[in-house]
Amino acid sequence: AQSVAQPEDQVNVAEGNPLTVKCTYSVSGNPYLFWYVQYPNRGLQFLLKYITGDNLVKGSYGFEAEFNKSQTSFHLKKPSALVSDSALYFCAVRANYGGATNKLIFGTGTLLAVQP
Amino acid sequence: SAVISQKPSRDICQRGTSLTIQCQVDSQVTMMFWYRQQPGQSLTLIATANQGSEATYESGFVIDKFPISRPNLTFSTLTVSNMSPEDSSIYLCSARGQGLEAFFGQGTRLTVV
């Protein structure tokens, strides 16, 4: 069965410092991995994805994520945090077999708080 | 990327009534989904909306309570039937096209009183 773990309910970081939001996954076969961000009273916005190829993927708003197959991780990173990055972040996984019907499984979410 | 319009954005409903949420995508998409989310929590998949056939429901969700329509490749509706306060939640429409990522509507915040 597919699963995603986000071990931190909340991450606090000072503006200008690097940030990391952790994600580990479990899936049979090779994964498709995604990060989404949700601002208050809004829907989810797609940030980035790993499908295949380069383990370091770059996405919107300066975010990037590194796929580590041996550790089954896909941590979200940004070199310099902004106060406007404060939001709820979700990691999601989908198996890459079984056709288009495979479901997207979400983690529990990590609240990122960036202090000025 | 697909742009998803969802309405209403919020509603307050009396228990025992039904609410239909509409989801319109600006391009043809392969898959459409409906999720439920408690504020600040993760997303729970309700069902996959299949074009021209009955929706595929996840465990714990049934068609009588959450009937879904998808008459074409760009539109779907979710009805929350015979509502109770426990149905108060955020309902999100999602769509996936030829790309592998899914896109989401802004959500419908439902309060049942």
Chain A residues with CB within 8 Å of chain B CB: 32, 34, 36, 41-46, 49, 51, 88, 90, 94, 100-101, 103-104, 106-109, 111
What does the alpha-carbon distance between residue A100 and residue A61 come to, in Å, rounded to a whole number? Answer: 28
pLDDT at A28: 82
Q: How many other β-carbons are positioned within 10 Å of the β-carbon of residue B41? A: 14
pLDDT at A95: 74
- Tokens 């972040």 sit on residue: A89
Quick check: B65 and B79 in contact, CB under 8 A?
no
Closest CB from A42, A49, A106 relative to B42: A106
pLDDT at A97: 64
pLDDT at B50: 86
Quick check: A77 and A47 in contact, CB under 8 A?
no
pLDDT over 70 at B92, yes or no: yes
CB contact under 8 A, B31 and A101: yes
Q: Which residue from A53, A54, A56 is spatially nearest to A64, judged by alpha carbons?
A: A56
pLDDT over 70 at B103, yes or no: yes
Q: Which residue from A40, A47, A42 is spatially nearest to A75, judged by alpha carbons?
A: A47
In B, which residues are within 8 Å of A43 by CB distance?
4, 6, 92, 104-107
What does the alpha-carbon distance between residue B56 and residue A101 come to, in Å, rounded to a whole number? Answer: 10
Helix (H, G, I), strand (E, B) or coil at B87: helix
Helix (H, G, I), strand (E, B) or coil at A80: coil
- Tokens 């952790």 sit on residue: A22
Q: Which residue from A31, A11, A32 is spatially nearest to A77, judged by alpha carbons?
A: A11
Closest CB from A43, A46, A103 relative to B106: A43
Lowest average pLDDT, out of A85-89, A92-96, A103-107, B15-19, goes to A92-96
- The DSSP code for A79 is S
Instruction: Give phi and psi for B112, each to the nearest 5.
Output: -110, 125
pLDDT over 80 at B24, yes or no: yes
What does the alpha-carbon distance between residue A34 and residue A20 come to, in Å, rounded to a whole number? Answer: 15
In A, which residues are within 8 Å of B103 by CB distance?
46
Please report which confidence band the pLDDT of residue B2 belongs to, taking 50, 70 and 90 as the band edges. Answer: confident
pLDDT at A99: 56
Quick check: B4 and B103 in contact, CB under 8 A?
yes
In A, which residues are within 8 Å of B48 by CB distance?
101, 103
pLDDT over 80 at A31, yes or no: yes
Quick check: A89 and A4 in contact, CB under 8 A?
no
In whole numbers, what is the pLDDT of chain B averaged over residues?
94
Q: Looking at mean pLDDT, say which of A23-27, A29-33, A97-101, B39-43 comes out highest.
A: A23-27
pLDDT over 70 at A98, yes or no: no
How far A34 CA sits from the closest chain B CA (Å)? 7
What does the alpha-carbon distance between residue B95 and residue B49 come to, in Å, rounded to a whole number? Answer: 10
Could you tell me which chain A residue has the CA closest to the CA of B4? A43
What does the alpha-carbon distance between residue A1 and residue B44 come to, in Å, rounded to a whole number? Answer: 16
In whole numbers, what is the pLDDT of chain A averaged over residues?
92
pLDDT over 80 at A25, yes or no: yes
How far B107 CA sits from the closest chain A CA (Å)? 6
Chain B residues with CB within 8 Å of chain A CB: 1, 4, 6, 30-31, 33, 40-43, 45, 48, 56, 92, 94, 96, 100-107, 109
